[in-house]
Amino acid sequence: MNVWYLIYRVIIDDIIFYPPIYQFLIIPGLIAALIVALIIIWFERKAAAFVQMRYGPREIAPKIGGAIQLVADLTRYALQEIIIPETVDVLPYLLSPIIMIILALLPLEAVPITSIRTYYPIPPDYSLLIAVALSTLSPLFIIIMSWASNNKFAVVGGVRESFIITAYELIAVLGFLSVAAMTQSFNLVQIVNLQMSGKWFGLLNPIALLVVFIAVLMSTSGFPFEIPDSESELVAGPYTEYTGLLYGLNMGGAYIKRWVFSILITIVFLGGWAPYRPTPGIITGYFIPSLIISIKALIVMAIMSFLRSVYGRYRVDQALGIAWEILIPLTLVAFGLGLAEAYFGII
């Protein structure tokens, strides 16, 4: 009995709820991301279908509104033959989608999702900086995969991706850091604790939230910035030569990136686990706050997905113009607003 209890504790405490594993693989990591993808893609299809006067998916499980359509899609992707063209550079071609997904999830390792000290994956003193820095790694592999594909459409898509990266990264970083300017801290736990009173930084500094929101849309090629893989002239952009599971990974990569950014937005701007106050204990101190964050991030993602049914796509030079001429000055305004609020002690 004692032995079984010990094994049980080891599995629960040291494996499942060991913070780096829990956050990378379970909530808000891989498994949660998969469930979120299931919900969000279903929502995206159903919401678009509602706007567009049609039913959306309902062949698979019609009784629950086709909610598990993505499972069928993933099965199809997983079982499809992976065709590797002769002209590609095989090693980077095969590795970059996998590395991209892992790197896209990596920022979650830097994000504390509770205020209980024992459940920090890493010491949270500079967690905002580290998370933002880690989030900039995965797009590089889109460029690598487009180059390794050895295809004109893929290369053009990769070039566009690189243009967009340079534009949105500055915006996203400055947007997140304007909160650091408000709080005089890079510590995400402290940032959330300051929002416990209900004064979410998204309300105190809405410009920063808006700017980061648009930057995330750009980074994950969401509408109206679905530019690198614009179908009508570039087929599938950087992913043109990919088939089967690898293509599924690429598509999932964008969703995971959006998910990770949504969690960052939730923690920095939307109060994180507020108004809930974590108390020691696995369930109350770790599981529930992670769930609260996931639900808030889900709503952020749902808003991003809904834009698909309203907008077309901008031209790449227009998107860059919006980024460099409008959003970066706006980010500086947001940064100044943060400094001013800190100076006048509004926080």
Partner 1 sequence: MASNISSGSVPHLPGMEVTELSKNTYEVYIGPAHPGSGHMRIIVEVDGDVMVRVDPDIGFVHRTMEKLAEGRDWIKNIPLFERMAILDACNITLPYVEAVERLLGTEPPDRARYLRTLLCEINRIASHLYGMGIFGVFLGHSTLYMWAFGDREVFIDLAEQMTGARLTHSYPVFGGVRRDIPDDFPENARKATKYMRNRLNEYAKIFLNNPNIRSRLENVGIMSKNLATELGIVGPNLRASGVRYDVRLNEPYEAYGDVEFEIPVFEEGDSLARAWARVEEIRQSLNIIEQAVDWLEKHPRENFMHEKFWKTAPKLYKDVFSGQIDYAGKYRVKLMPLFASLKVPPGKAFARVEAGRGEMVYYVESDGEDVPYRVRVVSPSFRNVIAFKYLMPGHRLMDLPAIYGSFDYFPPEWDR
Q: Name the site residues for partner 1 (rule: CB under 8 A).
A: 48, 51-54, 87-90, 93, 147-148, 150, 152-153, 156, 159, 223-224, 226-227, 230-233, 235, 308-318
Q: How far is the CB of 240 from partner 1 (least distance, A)?
A: 10
CA distance 292 to 250: 28
Type of residue at 153: F
- Cβ-based nearer residue to partner 1, 89 or 125: 89
Q: How far is the CB of 191 from partner 1 (least distance, A)?
A: 33
- Cβ-based nearer residue to partner 1, 19 or 321: 321
CA distance 151 to 157: 10
Q: How far is the CB of 224 from partner 1 (least distance, A)?
A: 5
Q: How far is the CB of 99 from partner 1 (least distance, A)?
A: 17
- Cβ-based nearer residue to partner 1, 48 or 302: 48
Q: How far is the CB of 219 from partner 1 (least distance, A)?
A: 17
- Cβ-based nearer residue to partner 1, 187 or 219: 219
For helices 288-306 and 30-51, what crossing angle results, to 10°? 30
- Cβ-based nearer residue to partner 1, 192 or 322: 322
CA distance 144 to 210: 30
Q: 28 preceded by cis ω (within 30°)?
A: yes
Return the DSSP state at 125.
G
CA distance 83 to 339: 53
- Cβ-based nearer residue to partner 1, 75 or 318: 318
| Sign, Cα dihedral of 180, 185, 189, 192 | negative
Q: Which residue has the tokens 């629950």?
A: 64
Whole-Å CA distances, 119 to 17, 272, 341 = 8, 15, 31
CA distance 249 to 102: 11
Q: How far is the CB of 165 from partner 1 (least distance, A)?
A: 16
